[in-house]
Amino acid sequence: MKNLYAFGSATTDDFDESSSDIDLLIELEEDDPLERGEKLLAIWDKLEEFFQRKVDLLTQSSLRNPILKKNIDATKVLIYDGKRQEVSL
């Protein structure tokens, strides 16, 4: 995993601990589509287990809508930096 960002209500005062999901944006270094898909599913499962709630997981490469990208960029917060931290999956 290269980077992981939280965005949306999870990074604002609008977050409701009892009902909000967590919106995350992930950047992976994997180029092979099959390996990438397997890693995404494994990470997604582990994130939902860790946060004990629904996680909406997007990839940087899947962001094609410029309005959505702008909204995400306005609230995103880096929560994992692959250059400084290491995680085993």
Q: Where do the structural domains in the chain lie, given as residue ranges? A: 3-86
Q: What is the pTM of this model?
A: 0.84
pLDDT (tens digit per residue) in 50-87? 999 999 999 988 899 999 999 999 999 999 998 887 65
Let me know if domain 3-86 sits in CATH 3.20.20.140: no
pLDDT (tens digit per residue) in 5-46? 999 999 989 998 889 999 999 999 888 889 989 999 999 999
Give the C-alpha separation, 60 to 38, whole Å.
17
Give the C-alpha separation, 76 to 79, whole Å.
9
Give the C-alpha separation, 20 to 71, whole Å.
18
Beta-sheet strands, E only, within 1-89: 3-7, 22-27, 55-59, 77-81
